[in-house]
């Protein structure tokens, strides 16, 4: 496995989400705000199938390329899916759930990374 930074991993995961037309991607830098992870990636999806397509693609491509992949949690309806990459956590939300959970508001003091 090549040695990449957490920021490079975050950008790669965001790019993989974009491959599947994820909605409104946001990368938040939590490195100075959280001990649990350095970056959150938050993306939206239009449907259950879209949510799973995004998450499955990210997981598959990272595993194939030997990147860290620690685990996955999801709702069977695809309202939310969390991919744990260690220093990076990917959140895939159906748009209604994204608004309900409001991670961008919750972590409002985090710096947004330009993609």
Domains of the chain: 6-110 (3.30.460.10)
DSSP-assigned letter for residue 109: T
Q: Each residue's pLDDT tens digit in the chain (115 positions)?
A: 456 899 999 999 999 999 999 999 999 999 999 888 999 999 999 999 999 999 999 999 999 999 989 999 999 999 999 999 999 999 999 999 999 999 989 898 898 998 7
What is the spatial distance between Cα 105 and Cα 86, in angstroms, rounded to a whole number?
22
| pTM of this structure | 0.93
Helix (H) or strand (E) holding 24: strand 23-29
Half-sphere exposure of 33 (CA within 13 A, CB side): 12
């Amino acid at each position: 496995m090549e040695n990449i930074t957490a920021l490079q991993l975050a950008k790669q995961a965001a790019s993989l989400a974009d491959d599947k037309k994820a909605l409104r991607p946001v990368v938040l830098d939590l490195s100075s705000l959280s001990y649990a992870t350095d970056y959150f990636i938050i993306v939206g999806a239009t449907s259950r199938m879209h949510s799973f397509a995004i998450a499955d693609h990210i997981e598959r491509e990272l595993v194939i390329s030997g990147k860290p992949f620690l685990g996955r949690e999801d709702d069977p309806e695809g309202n939310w899916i969390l991919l744990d990459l260690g220093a990076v956590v990917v959140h895939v939300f159906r748009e209604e759930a994204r608004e309900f959970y409001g991670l961008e508001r919750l972590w409002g003091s985090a710096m947004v990374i330009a993609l």
